[in-house]
Amino acid sequence: MRERPAFGRAGQVKAHARELLLALLVVLGVVALGVLILAQNRAAAARDDALRSQAHSYDVMIRAQAVAADVANAEAALGRYVISGEKQLGRIYVDRWSQAKGQLDALDRETDDNPAQDEDIRRLRRAYAERGKELAEIAGYSNFKLNQTAYGLFYRARDTRALRAVTATLNRIINREHTLLLERNAVASHAVARSNMTTQALALFGALLVVGVSLFGWFAAQALAERAAADADAELERERAVGLRAAVESATEQLREEAHERALAEAQLRQVQKMEAVGQLTGGIAHDFNNMLAVVLGGLELAKRRLHMGSDDAERHIDSAIEGANRAAALTRQLLAFARAEALRPEALDAGRLIVEMSDLLDRTLGDAIAVRVSTSGAGWRTWVDSHQLENAVLNLAVNARDAMDGRGTILIETGTATLARGAVGSCAAGDYVTVAVIDTGHGMSPEVLERVFEPFFTTKPVGKGTGLGLSQIFAFVRQSNGEITIDSAPNKGTTVTLYLPRHIHLAAPALGSIPAASLPAPRSTAALTVLIVEDDPRVRAATIGAVEELGHRAVACGDPSVVSTLLDEIGKPDLILTDVLMPGQSGPEMIAELGGAIADVAVLFVTGYTGEAGGDMLEGHKLLRKPFTLAGLARAIGEALAEPRGTHAAEAAE
């Protein structure tokens, strides 16, 4: 009877031991399950991070491809602009290029988390800026209808260092991001594999518990169910990631369409502003011409009445009419120079002397509230440029300086010298240069404005105050003269614009243009010449015949350049051919080139008010007299034409 309690106690001990073992197994199972669940959660988090990293890599590659696409679209638009000359295509090029800049900024922001991409982004920005300067130069030449030059530059620009740098850098960014994407794919695969291993361990532990304790098996079954739910969630997350990427691509495309529509609206607004500025410019020109014509017509009418009345003051009214006509001719020349409608007529000149002679013009143009100081230290150096274009450039820069100072202050114009190494200033070759600097103390320009100052139609002035062609015109003139232009400016620090013009090392006689033609007497030639006059306008032809005969020469007139060859067979060779440049059917230069050796020893004098497309190389080697002209100007031009070496250009034309 006493052994039962002992057996009972032993059974109780065994049962308790079994209970303790079961409890221990349950605790171990719970701990193991918790560890496995924690590992599963970490694996899922790692997988989610990998998926987000993959999506970010796709975004970076898409953005880099967008930059390349926008650059290609901008260059394609520029190519069409160079070929067709349509201003709308020029504006499309500007918009596409600006859009590429926005994409580049977005790419920079998206790669902030990757220091390895920082250097490539900086390199891409430098290459983009350098490529922008190349394309802006091409656009500038096309804007002023220098189509051959622009086409040649565009052809050479199809494979430049800057373009190669842009392409190579974009490819490097994409390839680096693609490599990073492969690494992230590997990380994601590792995370999935680790999740699978955790699941397998959970299943094995559950099987052991089922063999040992059915209750622990139940816990293992629960763990398996949770694992299946986690796998389902992971699959759902993968599907959501794919859907998210598709939604991002759709939103990106929609944003591109909206940006395109906005660019078109901005282009239309700029066109309206430009047409408004053109309308105001036309109204101002019409006003000035009407004033001048009023002086001419009024003076001539008064002179006619005084002549009929026998009065002695008719000459005074005639002088007044001549002055009005001279002012109209000067305005016409300034408009042609501003519009870049004439080829350059370079000459050796002293830039300092030219600016000193412009003092009165600058004072009248800028107003009494602006003080102009001129400092010349050119050491007697001359430069080989078109004097009219240089005057127009200095005047435009002075007007810009006045506007930057709100119409009050001091403008300093300095001339000097500089010896530059190759590439020291822009695209300047190594050598000596004459410098012309216009310095103001105005509000200056921000770096963003400085990047675009040479773009055609870009202006910071209010509507109606500017068309954005001034600096682009000066840029084209300086580049056409084999020089360079630089701008040093900062907000509230003023602006210094410096022109670098190549030094002309050969001595040249002082230009006669510094003496007003109307102030010289009209000499009569002591030797009578036979002058063939080719002019299609009968009124101009009659006036020219009268002027030639007034100088004591014999005039032979022809109104059709196509019959000049037959006329020469009848009258023989004249001493001088005086011909208009632009005529219907055949231009003056084309007529001279066609005659070739038949006029090898005959002097040629071209007369025109506008050369248009008929100028260029065919005018080289011949004197050019601009309409309207005086008797004194005609006499000097005839003398200079006779002094020119003859035979060379005609022989070249015949060959």
Q: Which amino acid is at 550?
A: E
Report DSSP state, residue 80: H
Query: CATH class for domain 347-512?
Result: alpha beta
Q: How far apart are CA 376 and CA 649, in angstroms?
A: 39
Rounded Cα distance, 607 and 588, in Å:
9
Q: Are 334 and 284 spatial neighbours (Cβ–Cβ below 8 Å)? A: no
What residues contact 479, with CB distance under 8 A and at least 6 apart?
A: 137, 140, 141, 427
Is the per-residue pLDDT at 409 higher than 80?
yes
Q: Which amino acid, residue 60?
A: V
pLDDT of 611 higher than 90: no
- Range from 172-186, 381-395, 398-412 carrying the lowest mean pLDDT: 172-186
- Among 452-461, 509-518, 593-602, the minimum mean pLDDT is found in 509-518
pLDDT higher at 301 or 648: 301
SS3 category, 375: strand
pLDDT reported for residue 519: 38
Q: Is the pTM of this model over 0.85?
A: no
Domains 347-512 and 520-654 share a fold: no
Helix then strand count (H, E) for the chain reads 17, 12
Condensed to tens digits (0 to 9), the pLDDT of residues 543-588 reads 899 889 999 999 999 999 999 999 999 989 999 999 998 888 888 9
Burial 271-303 (b: 16+ CB within 10 A, else e): eebbeebeeeeeeeeeeeeeebeebbeebbebb
Q: What is the pLDDT of residues 86-137, one digit of tens each?
A: 878 788 888 888 888 898 888 888 888 788 788 888 888 888 888 888 888 8
Domain ranges for the chain: 18-274, 347-512, 520-654
pLDDT reported for residue 178: 83
Quick check: helix, strand or coil at residue 98?
helix
H or E stretch including 269?
helix 214-309
Cα(502)–Cα(429) distance, integer angstroms:
9
List of long-range contacts for 347-350, beta carbons under 8 Å, 24+ apart: 347/384, 347/385, 347/386, 347/387, 347/508, 347/511, 348/382, 348/383, 348/384, 348/504, 348/506, 348/507, 348/508, 349/382, 349/383, 349/385, 349/387, 349/390, 349/511, 350/378, 350/380, 350/381, 350/382
What class is the 520-654 domain? alpha beta
